[in-house]
Amino acid sequence: MPRTLVSTCVFSIMAWLSLTAVAADATNVPGDHDLAQIRQAGVIRHLGVPYANFVTGSGDGLSIEIMRRFADHLGVKYVYVSADWDTVVPDLIGRKVAVVAGTAELGESTPIRGDVIANGLTQLPWRKQVLDFSTPTFPTQIWLLARADDLLTPITPSGTVDDDITRTRALLAGRSVLCKEKTCLDPGLFKLTQDGASPKPFRGSLNELAPALIAGEADNTILDVPDAVIALRKWPGRIKILGPMSKPQTMGVGFRKTSPELRRAFDKFFEESCSNGSYEQMVRKYYPSVADYFPGFFQQAGVAVSGRGSRETGERNQATAGTSAEVKPVDGQER
């Protein structure tokens, strides 16, 4: 057998063994795996769903970088464990979860595959029932988007988020709206049919919602801020924000309720990252314009805000004006 072919085969076998070792290392984590056990094992397993610029799918992202630095802070090895939206919570807590009328119901046992969830995880009420969240690490909000050539125009901000949501929802009658079940864009969270809209559950990933809208798969889509900001940069002049569908929300790192020491260690680490400027560096790297959408949050997190608004939209497309400055990243409270 030619030497080059032998080398290729050996390399492929070694790569496969490496991946197999990581996969095996990432399963059957004990449910009581808290900070002491993680330090003893010498590894922390980061569950992540590829999403926006939190987990890009190319080995980097804001959540990837934060968790790598947290692993270094703890003095342990970092291991990334890929997950999806349907299974990421069970992968952490070891129980299947069904959401019924906004309440999380635990089902049968399932293997625990990781120690934390970090991928832009919105702090939804049902998730709080089964997870403990870190201090908020990123702000968000759900917006209603349309193609740029749609006859609907963005709302005029009223100065109060409740009124802005009412004005936005008034645009929904007779419209088809892309949404994504088991995420922060779940149609059950927004009761779209009450406003005369036709929810259209999307089978692709969250990252594919904006291009699906551009392709005409529905009249509108609901989308959260991190994905919308990226979409506005990637497809300038192709989409527009009509207005908010939710109050400002926060994202955080998800922990098992049996890992309080790990959560406290992360909160301390994150506070230090905000104080020493490293969080600002990471935000600027992955979301260079987002601080101007949520100045209140990011100013308290030590991130400079230009006050110029987003160049991708010319202004902020009226979606969050006067509605989000009160969201705070440090005290753990949602406003």
Find the CATH number of the domain harbouring 166: 3.40.190.10
Q: Kindly tell me if the per-residue pLDDT of 193 is higher than 70.
A: yes
Does a structural domain hold residue 291? Answer: no
Contact 71, 298 (CB under 8 A): no
305 against 260, higher pLDDT: 260
Asked whether residue 97 carries a pLDDT value surpassing 70, the answer given is yes
Both tokens assigned to 239: 């989409």
Question: How many angstroms separate the CA atoms of 50 and 81, rounded?
Answer: 11
Q: 231 and 256 in one domain?
A: no
Q: Do 204 and 134 belong to one domain?
A: no
Percent residues over pLDDT 90 in the chain:
74
Residue 29 pLDDT: 64
Using alpha carbons, select from 52, 61, 47, 62 the residue that is nearest to residue 301. Answer: 62
Are both 103 and 151 inside the same structural domain? no
Are 28 and 114 found together in one domain?
A: yes
Q: What percent of the chain has pLDDT over 70?
A: 81
In one letter, which amino acid is 58?
Answer: S
- Domain identity same for 199 and 261: no
One domain, residues 150 and 231 = yes
Average pLDDT over residues 261-269: 98
In a domain, 314, yes or no: no
pLDDT surpassing 60 at residue 118: yes
Average confidence (pLDDT) over 280-307: 87
Residues 78 and 130 in one domain: yes
The answer to whether 296 touches 274, Cβ cutoff 8 Å, is: no
Q: How many domains does the chain have?
A: 2
Distance, in Å, from the CA atom of 268 to the CA atom of 303, rounded to the nearest integer, reads 18
Residue pair 239/317 in contact by the 8 Å Cβ criterion: no
Residues 226 and 277 in one domain: no
Residue 35 scores a pLDDT above 50 = yes
- Determine the average pLDDT of the residues in 100-104: 90
Structure tokens at 31: 């449910």
Confidence of residue 28 (pLDDT cuts 50, 70, 90): low
Dihedral class, residue 101 (left if φ above 0, else alpha if ψ from -120 to 50, else beta): left
Find residue 95's DSSP bridge partners: 109
pLDDT at 31: 61
Q: Per-residue pLDDT averaged across 281-292, rounded?
A: 93
For residue range 169-182, list pLDDT tens digits in order: 999 999 999 999 88
Residue span of the structural domain in which 264 resides:
3-139+250-285
Residue 285 and residue 280: Cα distance in Å, rounded?
8
- Say if residue 324's pLDDT is above 50: no
pLDDT band at 327 (very low <50, low <70, confident <90, very high): very low
